[in-house]
């Protein structure tokens, strides 16, 4: 418990120090204009949303799937105020993040589950403006099944419903299930999750460095029409414990630990001795302030006119002062119906 408190205190100290002493160089700059700004809203966090934020599209996260091809729950459409007199589109996110076996079972037509899943998603979409598929555990061997699933879903959704697909960040073509070009020929929007450059089990590093994001945007734009491409940005940082690892401890070192005055002891024949003691923990934290996020927004504007944020409620309010929506948030006729039309690069 004391060690946990030390970790939390160190992280809190880092965050407070950075927030107090880091000058926000974005203040006073003109907002960057986008056609669409998407944001992810966690179910149960509706009250965290800044209703005057320049967000055109809400991704309501999320419902899962079962091995029977059904959705795990019914998600009632949240009530979100309009933006500048225009209704925000609300998209139901259907997600599976870490179960490749379930993905195979539900997508491969041999098992007879796929069509039931498609029908269930179509039925649940009735109160929403669109559906987003966020299947992050599809294996390369299931690529064709995934593509066919998307085709069937697109065909099954009523006219006017937006189909978007969230895809992992790539800087070059790799052999996997997420073919940017093919998927963008089916979906109305492709959201590239340009974050988690470093993650919980990797070495410490930025969640989304500027040059890494530029490489992701370059590859994305070469494979996805500009009118369909959405570049995702993180609103979170990540911290690592510098000594967060396990190791073997020999007899002499055990004797030293036993002699510590803060050592606490438990014993059972099942586990042997359990000795707990407190140590100082060094923490390294990476996160983007509003200035760093603005730099990414300006860079992305060279590749697309739509961005997304993971996730709403984690941002500083100053972020929204750096963003504006084309035409004051009024949707241009034809923009949703023909999203694949690219503008000049």
Between CA 315 and CA 313 the distance in angstroms is 6
Contact 146, 177 (CB under 8 A): yes
**Residue 136 is a catalytic residue:** yes
DSSP string, 267-334: EETTTEEEEE------EEEE---HHHHHHHHHHHTTT-SEEEEE-TTSS-GGGGGGEEEGGGGPPPTT
- Helix axis angle, 100-107 to 114-124, nearest 10°: 90
What are the structure tokens assigned to 66, written together?
A: 């079962």
> Considering Cα of 335, then 339, then 343, then 345, what sign does the dihedral take?
positive
Check 46, 136, 148, 326 and give the catalytic one: 136
Q: Is the backbone of residue 69 left (phi > 0), alpha (psi -120 to 50) or beta?
A: left
Between CA 173 and CA 180 the distance in angstroms is 9
Q: Which DSSP letter does residue 86 get?
A: B
Return the bridge partners of 324, or none: 33
Q: Quickly count helices (H) and strands (E) in the chain.
A: 8, 14
Rounded to 5°, the CA angle 47-49-52 comes to 125
Measured CA distances, 233 to 197, 294, 314 (Å): 11, 10, 12
**Where in 160-228 does DSSP place strands (E)?**
162-168, 189-193
Residues with active-site annotation: 136
């Amino acid at each position: 418990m004391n060690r946990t408190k030390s970790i939390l205190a160190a992280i809190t100290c880092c965050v407070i120090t950075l927030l107090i002493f880091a000058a926000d160089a974005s203040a006073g700059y003109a907002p960057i204009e986008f056609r669409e700004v998407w944001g992810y809203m966690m179910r149960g966090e509706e009250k965290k949303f800044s209703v005057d934020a320049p967000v055109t599209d809400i991704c309501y996260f999320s419902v899962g799937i079962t091995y029977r091809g059904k959705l795990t729950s019914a998600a009632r459409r949240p009530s979100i105020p309009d933006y500048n007199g225009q209704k925000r589109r609300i998209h139901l996110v259907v997600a599976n993040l870490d179960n490749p076996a379930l993905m195979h079972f539900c997508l491969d037509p041999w098992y007879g589950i796929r069509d039931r899943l498609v029908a269930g998603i179509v039925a649940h979409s009735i109160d929403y403006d669109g559906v987003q598929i966020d299947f992050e555990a599809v294996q390369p061997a299931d690529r064709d099944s995934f593509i066919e699933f998307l085709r069937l879903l697109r065909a099954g959704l009523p006219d006017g419903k937006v189909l978007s697909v969230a895809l992992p960040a790539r800087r070059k073509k790799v052999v996997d299930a997420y073919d940017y070009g093919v998927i963008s020929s089916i979906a109305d929007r492709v959201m590239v999750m340009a974050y988690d450059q470093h993650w919980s089990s990797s070495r410490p590093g930025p969640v989304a460095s500027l040059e890494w994001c530029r490489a992701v945007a370059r590859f994305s734009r070469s494979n996805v029409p500009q009118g369909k491409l959405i570049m995702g940005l993180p609103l979170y940082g990540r911290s690592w414990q510098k000594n967060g690892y396990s190791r073997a401890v020999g007899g002499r070192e055990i004797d030293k630990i036993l002699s510590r005055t803060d050592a606490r002891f438990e014993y059972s024949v099942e586990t042997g001795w359990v000795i707990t003691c407190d140590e100082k923990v060094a923490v390294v934290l990476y996160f983007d302030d509003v200035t760093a996020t603005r730099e990414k927004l300006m860079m992305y504007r060279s590749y697309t006119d739509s961005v997304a944020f993971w996730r709403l409620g984690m941002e500083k309010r100053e972020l929204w002062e750096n963003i504006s929506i084309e035409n004051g948030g009024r949707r241009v006729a034809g923009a949703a119906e023909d999203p694949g039309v690219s503008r000049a690069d």
